[in-house]
Amino acid sequence: MGTIELVATRYRPEQDVQPWEQRYTVPCSEDMSLLDALNYIKDELDPSLSHRWSCRMAICGSCGVMVNGEPKLSCKTFLRDYREAGVVQVRALDNLPVERDLVADISGVVEHIEAVKPWLIRHSTAPVDTAHTQTPEQMARYHAFSQCINCALCYAACPQFGRNPAFLGPAALTLAQRYNLDSRDEGSSERMPWLNAEEGVWSCTFVGYCSEVCPKDVDPASAINRGKVASDINYGVNLFRLLRGKSDA
């Protein structure tokens, strides 16, 4: 079985003025996830360590932390992969305020997600008793972007968000694209102001790390940069209209 060293960055708002590191020794078996290790610490070594988790199957999005400097889901990270490194460094997700220990304050991220009108917008309402037609090909156009579990790893990966927390960021902009690309949706013009805004797609400089860390292969970098194309086209169309004296403003 063996053991491995786990160094957790602690921050307890009531006692601490700043974060500090605590070292634990945890068992390390072949199938033990980092989440199992954190729960082991909580149960057996130090009940005061706080972390979030629920599904332990990489779908609820609760358990994101920085592991040796990379944003990861702790339930989808395995200790066996750190045997060589010899130590696992864990801290709360980067670029976000730390509520306590490994718990980051994600309320800002959730607000960004809420801001982009992430729901199906229809102007012509469909009858209650039939479904829209949507072919598998049409669904494929947005399907990857609908797989986001809101884990915020991409926010921890984004230096632009780190610089400017007002940047709507990967998951929120991806969600806007998810609906814009849905054949049933008629709301892309309502979402356009968000894409175009200072804090929208143009704050992205295509670092691309968000897509690398995304545990669900959502590819937010692609979504955002396709948003730039859409924003450009929208700009062009508006300019054209303006020149012809038909501003839609």
Partner 1 sequence: MNQQQADIVIVGGGGAGLRAAIAAAESNPGLDILLLSKVYPMRSHTVAAEGGCAGVIQPHDSLDAHFDDTVAGGDWLCDQDVVDYFVRHATEENLRLEHWGCPWSRKPDGSINVRAFGGMQIERTWFAADKTGFHILHTLFQTSLKYPAIRRCDEYFCTDLLVEDGHCAGLLAIDMRSGEQTLIAASAVILATGGAARVYRYNTNGGIVTGDGMALAYRQGVPLRDMEFVQYHPTGLPGSGILITEAARGEGGVLTTCDGYRYLQDYGLGPETPLGKPQNKQMELGPRDRLSQAFWHEEQAGRTVATERGAAVYLDLRHLGEQRIQERLPFIRDLARTYVNVDAVHEPIPVRPTAHYTMGGIQTDRHTATCLPGLYAVGECASVGLHGANRLGSNSLAELGVFGRLAGEQAAERAAQGLAVDPQRLRPQAEAQAAGREALRTANGPERLAALRDEMACAMEAGIGIFRVPAQMSATIEKIAELKARYQQLGLKDGSRAFNTEWLQAIELGFLLDVAEAMSHAALARQESRGSHQRPEDFPARNDALFLKHSLARQQPGGAAEVSWQDVVITRSAPGERHYGGTTVQGANR
Partner 2 sequence: MRKPWQPQQPRDWWLHNPAYRRYMLREATALPLMLYTLLLLAGIFQFSRGEVAFAAWLSWMQTPAALLLQGIALAAALLHAVTWVALVPKILVIDSDRLRIDPRQVLRAHQLGALAGNLGLVVATLWLLWPAGGA
The verdict on 176 binding ligand SF4 (CB under 6 A) reads: no
Among 137, 122, 109, which Cα is nearest to 188's? 122
The verdict on 42 binding ligand FES (CB under 6 A) reads: no
Q: Which stretch binds ligand FES (CB under 6 A): 17-25, 57-65, 136-144, 222-230?
A: 57-65
The verdict on 222 binding partner 2 (CB under 8 A) reads: yes
Q: Count residues contacting partner 1 (CB under 8 A)?
A: 63
Contact 54, 60 (CB under 8 A): yes
Query: Residues with Cβ < 8 Å from 236, sequence gap 6 or more?
Result: none
Q: Which stretch binds partner 1 (CB under 8 A): 96-104, 162-170, 199-207, 226-234?
A: 96-104
Q: Which of 205, 217, 243, 248 binds partner 2 (CB under 8 A)?
A: 205
Separation of first and last alpha carbons in the chain: 67
The verdict on 170 binding ligand SF4 (CB under 6 A) reads: yes
Contact 69, 92 (CB under 8 A): no
Task: Give the sign of the dihedral formed by CA 95, CA 97, CA 101, CA 103.
Answer: negative
Q: Which stretch binds partner 2 (CB under 8 A): 32-40, 55-63, 77-85, 155-163?
A: 155-163
β pairing state of 70-73 and 103-104: unpaired
Site for ligand FES, rule CB under 6 A: 53-56, 58-63, 73, 75
Site for ligand SF4, rule CB under 6 A: 148-154, 170-171, 174, 214-216, 218, 220
